[in-house]
Structure 1
Amino acid sequence: MTGLLVVLGAAVGAPLRYAVASTLDGRLHDRLHAGTLAVNVVGSFLLGLFSALSLSDSGAALLMTGFCGGFTTYSAFAVQTHDLGPRVGAAYAGATVVLALAACALGFWVGQA
């Protein structure tokens, strides 16, 4: 049953990631991949929030592993960071990590309130 919950969450998260990332990147004609940055930061916020809510095992499988795992993307982040070159790519990677960790902490704080 847990595997099905993960699949269900990912089946919602992954297409939503594609829609958000491609819409933002398309509208902004963005060389800095704002869509990927946005989904990773929002996903990190949600992961922090869900962590603070102490979900059941089923809820964690559905929302944290499935949805957040499908919604966020490491592979696109890695490829896009590499494509930006050493200087801009390093700045993009650093900004992504800092923003994602801050969003996760904020989500946890909101969930605790």
Structure 2
Amino acid sequence: MNTPKLDIDRTRTKLNTLGLTYAADHLDYLLAEAVAKEIAPHAFLDRLLESECSGREERRVKVSLKMSGLPTGQTLENFDFAFQPAIERSRIDTLATGAWIRNAETVISSFEIPTGTRRIA
């Protein structure tokens, strides 16, 4: 009993037709890896779909950043703290560690934020 050979170009065309362009781009590599490592078909399919999901997420972030109009290449290392002396570098460096997230701490209290309202006695 002969098993039919897979036509990679036809498969790639179908992936592109379905809009799965990242999966189509990675098909050759992932298929070669699956054959070499004897990866199960469901695991191969999962990796193929993961490449599509990763590619779409990368594109979404790239487009979102472009549309935001935020300047690129800005980091805490090149921020001019001298230009804005009200910002404490040590506090920003501490916040940048993200420890406050893991510890579920409140970073800004309502007493620190001017609300524009005043209490009438």
Alignment TM-score > 0.5, same fold: no
With a CA cutoff of 8 Å and minimum separation of 6, indicate the structure with the bigger relative contact order.
1
TM-score using structure 1 length: 0.31
TM-score using structure 2 length: 0.29
If each structure's helix is expressed as a fraction of its own residues, which one has the higher value?
Answer: 1
